[in-house]
Structure 1
Amino acid sequence: MASLTVRQQTNYSGFPKAAELIEIEGAHALEASDRALMNTLLQHAHDSGRLTEADAEWEIPLAHLRTAQSKHGSNDRIKESIRRIRRVEVKIAYTTPEGENRVLESNLLNFTDTSEDDHPGATVQFGIPKRLRLILVRSNRWGRIKCEIAYAMSSKYAIALYEMVSLRANLDRCVEVIDMAKFRELLGVPPGAYDRTDNFIRFVTSPAELEVNGLSDMNVKIELTRKHPRAPAYAVTIAWWRKSEEEFRAASLERGRSKVGRMARLKGRAETPVVIDA
């Protein structure tokens, strides 16, 4: 029997995030800061060892969340991010122990209970819905996610792409073709947004690829396929590979630098995105 995600330990490579949560659909309302913060909450819950407990709830200092996200002195942004996470409803595909494929529609958090005043000991208490916890407990596929990498990214599409390639990092293959509609859902692109291929490249895939290559432990290459130059792209080919030691060090150093001017620095090393006319 394959190892269970819940039994894996957080290590230098990151915390084990279940594939079912990496490949969620319907998360387009979440901003980059929300996705990064949700990873911190998930790691906190996972590392507690209490995901299997029927009535498990967790508590984490707002100061910890604030420090990880920014140097902003108020908890207001953190609280608003937590509200968005609690309100969003996503679709989570999973397989039952009997082998049936199902889709759970659920919130990511079933409640949050936050200190009203911004005193030093202010906390947020939170819970994960029971049915979602059952999926996480049964999960046997995961990607190792470093929270600091997600916090370093400004594009929510970059965070989603980083998690996708992290999930696939240890597969025998290193190339995958994904239907465009499915790819949009996995990245969290809002319905109807960036329908034109050039806009999709400019606002979604280019910044995502740029930040994954410049800030994460993986390299990725995205190619869009369409039937002719004026047709919309109908498929996406993703290739991924691990960084060299030099590239790994460069990404780590960049994460430690100011976000001011970061995109310009990363663009200096980027290549032009590719569109294939089939």
Structure 2
Amino acid sequence: MNSTTVTTLDDDEVEKPAPVRTGAHLYATDIKVSGQPLDPGHVGRIIKPRELVDIIELTPLNRSETILYNQLLAHAWNNIRTTPVHKVLKASLRGSHESNDRLHDAFDKLMGAWAKIRARDQQTGAMATFRVHLLGSNKEEDQDDGYFYYTFPPDLLAVIAQSKAWATIKSHIMYALRSKYSIRLYEMVERRIGLNKQHEEFTIDEFRSMLGVQEGKLDRYADFNKYCLKPALGEVNHLTDFVVQIAAVKRGRAVEKLHMAWFKKSPADLRQAHDEREKSRIGRAARWTGRVEVISFDEEPV
């Protein structure tokens, strides 16, 4: 694979803090992708700026498309500010798939995907909402073992270049998560886990947008809770390096907000999550039954 050179990161290696720029803030692009994030069989670290995590996605992406976008971002990341066109072997994006059929459709979907991103306007200094496409012009070689050439839109690159907050996504955990909602919840917490706080409140609409719930789907809170929140919470708590709690905050009988709290796991629980990721997916849901934090209408944040 013709890819960006990265530093190997072993499974049990402790990540060292990135060096801070002298006399300046640390930017997301100062942090480097490491390991082998395009290979589900190896450990890697993906850097994803806050603006692409806390996103209002107007073109919903499924799990495969979400992972593919993270792969393209990771492959380009270490040179994203200096290299206008990136190229990657299509075979390196396939995962366990034997053909490129999945990739063709996913490239089409990403080409048309766009989102609302809140970021600071460099010209005015004020916060603004940017409407941007997630992927720029691209070219795919016809042969199965060919390259995919791609770019990112200038407006998106401008937002990325000034980002000062990011999620450090562990690729081996991302691949283990089987739902797009789980991946998005995992990214949300990875973006916040190093902050000087352990909880945050969101409106229902904000949380739906961040998890990538399609407009017009799961409109009732009970359905959103049952088919999105609870399954995502179960997977994240079972397979990642932290514990997440989500509680419904009511006004009268109506759910007004969601209160999310997150905590790093103990060494024993970290080892248990690691061991679970190494096991077959068969029977995994049954193994976490009974350990999912219940989100009910009557539950109050702790």
Asked if TM exceeds 0.5, the reply is yes
User: 2: distance between equivalents of 1:37 and 1:269?
Assistant: 30
Equivalent residue for 2:81? 52
Equivalent residue for 2:40? none
Deviation at 1:225?
2.0
* Contact in 1 for aligned 2:47/2:167 (Cα 8 Å): yes
Which one has the bigger helix percentage?
1
User: Which residue among 195, 205, 210 is the counterpart of 1:181?
Assistant: 205
User: 2: distance between equivalents of 1:267 and 1:224?
Assistant: 21
3-state secondary structure, aligned to 2:202? strand
3-state secondary structure, aligned to 1:80? helix
User: 1: distance between equivalents of 2:201 and 2:160?
Assistant: 26
Equivalent residue for 1:247? 269
User: 2: distance between equivalents of 1:78 and 1:268?
Assistant: 37
Equivalent residue for 1:88? 113
Residue 31 of structure 2 is aligned to residue 8 of structure 1: yes
User: Which residue among 120, 135, 141 is the counterpart of 1:109?
Assistant: 135
- 1:79-125 per-residue CA deviation (whole Å, 9 max, x = no partner) reads 2222212211111111023421112112111123112232xx32211
User: Which residue among 260, 266, 273 is the counterpart of 2:282?
Assistant: 260
Deviation at 1:268?
4.7
**CA separation of 1:160 and 1:246: change in aligned 2, threshold 3 A:** same
**TM-score of the superposed pair, with normalisation by structure 1:** 0.89
What RMSD, in angstroms, separates the aligned Cα atoms of the two structures? 1.9
User: 1: distance between equivalents of 2:160 and 2:50?
Assistant: 9
Deviation at 1:44?
0.8
* Contact in 2 for aligned 1:166/1:218 (Cα 8 Å): no
* Contact in 2 for aligned 1:112/1:126 (Cα 8 Å): yes
User: 2: distance between equivalents of 1:27 and 1:43?
Assistant: 22
User: Which residue among 170, 180, 186 is the counterpart of 1:146?
Assistant: 170
Equivalent residue for 1:23? 54
State the structure with bigger RCO (CA 8 A, min sep 6), 1 or 2: 1
3-state secondary structure, aligned to 1:183? helix
User: 1: distance between equivalents of 2:118 and 2:216?
Assistant: 23
**TM-score of the superposed pair, with normalisation by structure 2:** 0.83
Q: Structure 1 stretches of 5 or more lacking a match?
A: none
User: 1: distance between equivalents of 2:175 and 2:110?
Assistant: 16
Equivalent residue for 2:20? none
User: 2: distance between equivalents of 1:217 and 1:28?
Assistant: 29
* Contact in 1 for aligned 2:233/2:244 (Cα 8 Å): yes
User: Which residue among 99, 102, 108 is the counterpart of 2:125?
Assistant: 99
3-state secondary structure, aligned to 2:60? coil
Deviating runs (4+, > 6 A) in structure 1?
none
3-state secondary structure, aligned to 1:275? coil
3-state secondary structure, aligned to 1:132? helix
3-state secondary structure, aligned to 1:273? coil
Identity %: 31
Equivalent residue for 2:298? 276
User: Which residue among 185, 192, 195 is the counterpart of 1:168?
Assistant: 192
Deviation at 1:144?
0.4
**Number of equivalences:** 268
**CA separation of 1:274 and 1:245: change in aligned 2, threshold 3 A:** farther
**1:226-237 paired onto structure 2 within 5 Å:** 226-229=250-253, 231=254, 233-237=255-259
* Partner AA of 1:25 in structure 2: I
